[in-house]
Chain A
Amino acid sequence: MNLTRFLTRFWADRPLALKGLVVVALPLAILLVSLSLLFQASHAEEEAEDDVRRAFAVQRDTYQVHALLAEAAAGVRGYVLTRQARFLEPYRKAEADLPPTFDRLDGIIRDAEIRQRFERIRSLAVRKREGLHTIVELADGRLGNERNTAEIEAALVSNKIVLDAMRQEIDRIQVRENALLDQRLRRVEQVRNRFLLLTAISAIVGLLGSLAAVYLFSTGIVRRIGNLEDNAERLAQGEALNDLPQDADEIGRLAQRLTRASALLRGREQALRESEERFRLVIEEVRDYGIFALDPDGVVTSWNLGAERIKGWTAPEILGQHFSHFYPDETRDFLPAQMLQRARDRGTVEDEGWRLRKDGSRFWANVVITSLHDDNGQVRGFAKVTRDMTERRRSEEALRMAREDAIAANLAKSEFLSRTSHELRTPMSAILGFGQLLELDEETLSPPHRAAVQQIMKAGRHLLSLINDLLDISSIEAGATDMSIEAVDLDDVVQEVHALAAPIVATGGLTFQLEAAEPGLIAQADRRRLIQVLLNLIANAAKYNRTGTCVRLAYGRRGDDIRLEVEDDGEGIDPSAASRLFTPFDRLGQQSKTRVEGTGLGLALSKRLVESMSGQIGYEAPAQGARFWFTLPAAPSTPDKPED
């Protein structure tokens, strides 16, 4: 069994060229064998016929020998009786013919027994011829006369015996030859029969061989090619391939490659299917975008969840419908066709505009249409992605309006502040102006009038400072204040502040101390506003310090900032009220307690000013008195000081 399997395997693994050779060579070999057999058969028949011919020749020649000798003997006898020479003719003929006849016989005799007898016949023939010769000589008288007759008689008799012996030998040869002939004829018959048989066998074997070769070919090649074709068809249909034996010949290799190709193809197909499936799932599940496909005429061919959510139609309702359903009346007649044409021309087209939902309501849509092409570049449809921008448009609109409102409000506020400032100052100008004129001429006034003018001027100035502070705070909060932030030399500023504030401090009977931790400090600030803040704080310190002796202004570097402090050694501030220090109009009860004038806006304004210069402001309670501090960013480098 193993051998069979091995042979089958071995055969299957041979190259096709060898198999073809074998298929052609096999019947040819069979034909060759039968031809050689035929040749052998005919050769044997020829030999057999030769033998038969030789047998006849031996028979004829032996008879001829006998006949020649018998006639010679009869002639000699005649001659002895008549002495007529013509009776010697047979004897002479025999003398002439016998040697060649014997030579011929000698050449053709093969059989050992016949040769034995032939040799005897030849010796007998010699004796016979000698006898006849003697008789002839005797008859010619060359050997005496009377006595001759008796001798002749004796010679004749002995001749007769020799002839008889020869005759017996010849008969035996004949018998033997006959036997041999029979034998040979039988052999010829046999050979002929065998020849016929061989021919028949050759024909059958040749036929069968051819059939076997064809069968072999068919099973080995045609059937396998058939299988291959079958597999190729399966490959084309995308079905699984049949398992084929893994033969090493060309067909086997072809089958293996087909199998490999199939595996590769199936792998790719699988990957593609999975990717398509994933993609399809993703597309279908996308909720924020309406994604759907159109055929070249604009008929909807696919529909996702997002499209359903945005437009309201379910897939079964809209599939097969023209996409112009999505457009409102005013654009339906031209826009859908225009969009498709533009998508055809440019590949993709984007649009924003109103579209319709199923219920007829409108939404603001962002639409992108992309044309899809087949392998020949023909448009085979369109992909359409729709986004519902209504909310965004609404919020953008709201944002835009809010921004416009804010800008308008800001402008209005600035305008309002500017007008208010003007409207409040203008009458103040008249009040204070006339009041001042009256003060200038106070000697012309009666004492009560003089006191009245003083009250008017005091109230008017207070009102003016209130208006100024209020407008300052408002304009800072409205962002309408122009801050010109620049590098400010603090030593310089402090000198100016000192000059300005010294009278106020002196009015309270206090000393004014300056403490610079280091000279040449430069801050990033608006010079005018910085002075305003310092004056505010110093004025406060001077105003509320009723028990102490001094107001101190100190400044120094703190990291990236510059810190300025205004401190007094008065009563200090009630810690419970400290948190309300920077609240507008909250004067912590000072107006009733100390009768110190104030708007209640100084600290609030200072806080806003410091903060709009990127600084911080605060209050801390030292051991004695009150301390206000604020910071300003230090300038990166020292500017050149003016030389004066």
Chain B
Amino acid sequence: MPGHLIAPGDLLSRRILVIDDEEANVLLLIALLKREGYNDVHGITDPARAMQAYIDLAPDLVLLDLMMPEVDGFQLLEAFGRHERADEYRPVLVLTADTTLQARRRALSLGAKDFVAKPFDVIEVALRISNLLETRLLYERLRAQQA
């Protein structure tokens, strides 16, 4: 059980980056995460700056919208993949209003770890976020033990 291994504080201090061109959605997710107790949450509404923020902040989890002007979520997923080391596990949760099967498949094949359709149930999203962060944390520990 993860509960035995991970203290709630470990998860809540993890850095989360929210990328969405709609400010309302960024604010919603930040409000949700703050309410859940996360204290290192960053939001980006200009997708052109997203990659730089990703590099600068090195977040533990990315919440990513797909349909954005100039640079869309698929391009960012590809860019993350290129930037990341092969043994790094830095999960991306895709949150999109594009509910088509194609979009879902494409996002997951480009490295997204989870996919939630908008509008979403906030509780479900909060659960998925904590799951992904938990996996990330366990992975880091495993790597630290092996090293």
Contacts and interface: CB of A to CB of B under 8 A. Distances in A.
Contacts of A158: none
What interface size band does chain B fall in?
A: 20 to 34
Interface string A410-439: 000000001001111111111111101100
B98 interface: yes
A84 B70 CA distance: 205
A424 B99 CA distance: 12
Given A425-B119, A426-B22, A440-B35, A434 B28 contact: yes
Interface residues of A, number: 21
A531 to B, nearest CB: 16
Contacts of B24: 427, 430, 434
Most buried by A among B22, B97, B117: B97
A464 interface: yes
A433 B98 contact: no
A482 interface: yes
A464 B100 CA distance: 16
A437 B31 contact: yes
Nearest to A428: B119
A335 B100 CA distance: 56
B63 to A, nearest CB: 12
Interface string B27-50: 111011001000000000000000
B35 A437 contact: yes
B121 interface: yes
Interface in B93-131: 96-101, 117-123
A488 B25 CA distance: 39
Contacts of B32: 433, 437
B67 interface: yes
A432 B118 CA distance: 10
Contacts of A428: 118-119
Nearest to A426: B97
Contacts of A441: 35
Contacts of A424: 97
A19 to B, nearest CB: 108
A426 B25 contact: yes
A441 to B, nearest CB: 8
Nearest to B66: A422
Nearest to A461: B119
Contact of A433 (B96, B99, B117, B119): B119
A464 B97 contact: no
Interface string B70-99: 000000000000000000000000001111
Contact of B97 (A421, A433, A434, A482): A421
Interface in B3-42: 22, 24-25, 27-29, 31-32, 35
Given A433-B28, A437-B31, A421 B118 contact: no
A422 B73 CA distance: 14
B31 A425 contact: no
Interface string A142-173: 00000000000000000000000000000000
A429 B67 contact: no
A429 B97 contact: yes
Given A429-B28, A433-B28, A422 B98 contact: yes
A429 B122 CA distance: 10
A409 B98 CA distance: 21
Contacts of A434: 24, 28, 31
A433 B96 CA distance: 13
Given A430-B24, A433-B28, A437-B28, A418 B122 contact: no
Given A421-B97, A422-B97, A440 B118 contact: no
B91 to A, nearest CB: 21
A482 B103 CA distance: 13
Contacts of A423: 97
A267 to B, nearest CB: 78
Interface string A443-487: 000000000000000000000100000000000000000100000
28 contacts: A418-B98, A418-B100, A421-B97, A421-B98, A421-B99, A422-B98, A424-B97, A425-B97, A425-B117, A425-B119, A426-B22, A426-B97, A428-B118, A428-B119, A429-B25, A429-B118, A430-B24, A430-B27, A433-B32, A433-B119, A433-B120, A436-B123, A437-B31, A437-B32, A437-B122, A440-B35, A464-B119, A482-B101
Given A429-B25, A433-B119, 19 more contacts: A421-B97, A422-B67, A422-B98, A423-B97, A424-B97, A425-B99, A425-B119, A427-B22, A428-B119, A432-B119, A433-B25, A433-B28, A433-B29, A433-B122, A434-B31, A437-B28, A437-B32, A440-B35, A441-B35
